[in-house]
Structure 1
Amino acid sequence: MPLIHRPDVQQGNVITQSAIDKLRPGMTKNQARYIMGTPMLVDVFHRDRWDYIYSMQPGGEERTQEHISLFFSDDHLVRIEGDYRPLAATEDPLKVDKGAVISVPDYTGEKGIFSWTLKKEGIDSEK
């Protein structure tokens, strides 16, 4: 029926590429939990595997599902599997492009608002 409202149904952990890009091998479980949130599924028999599942079904449309698994060894992240791929290991997310040029305007000698206000009140700010 065309007049029936069907709400969007979201379930699970929201998974974003930016969060996946922050994950690095060697991170502790606490660091991974801080970035990704509490996992949707922690298997009792495999405590070193965390599964994050997100599904979305826009009103009346087909459901989509995303999945990512984090694998740990000795409390450190060793592997990521799923629908997302982390940033390439050779790329540094904090790397600054040294070829970028930022031009800063020269100081024109104009005073700021504080000096302007003092001048209007008859007070010399140079003293």
Structure 2
Amino acid sequence: MRLQQAMLAAAFIALLLVSCRKDKDLRPPVVEVLEPVAGTTIAIPDTILVRVRVNDDHQLTGLTIELLDEGGAVVATAGTITLEGSSGTYERSMVLMDERSRPVRTPSPPGPRMAPTTAAASGR
């Protein structure tokens, strides 16, 4: 009888450990840039409104918005927004500065880069 109880207790503990394991976040969040639309002409210096919609199957904790050049270097940032929930629409102003004023077209990619952070990805 004691052997059966010990085996049952061991099986229960093993089941409990497996069920408490956190799921890995294998899919990145879906990010849709709503504003500015691709091809928008902007005169530098200027401040633009960046509006994005994000959606994920895990809790989102933050969203970083950056504008990249063709080489992938950050040329402007709108900072990081603290998020709660797994989806939403967010907007932030982005200041664009240069030594000289010249017209610029917002590129398709690389364009604004959105980097949502999930609770599973950040280890929280």
TM-score range, shorter chain: under 0.3
Identify the structure with the greater strand proportion: 2
Q: TM-score of the superposition, structure 1-length normalised?
A: 0.22
Greater relative contact order (CA < 8 Å, ≥ 6 in sequence): 2
Larger radius of gyration: 1
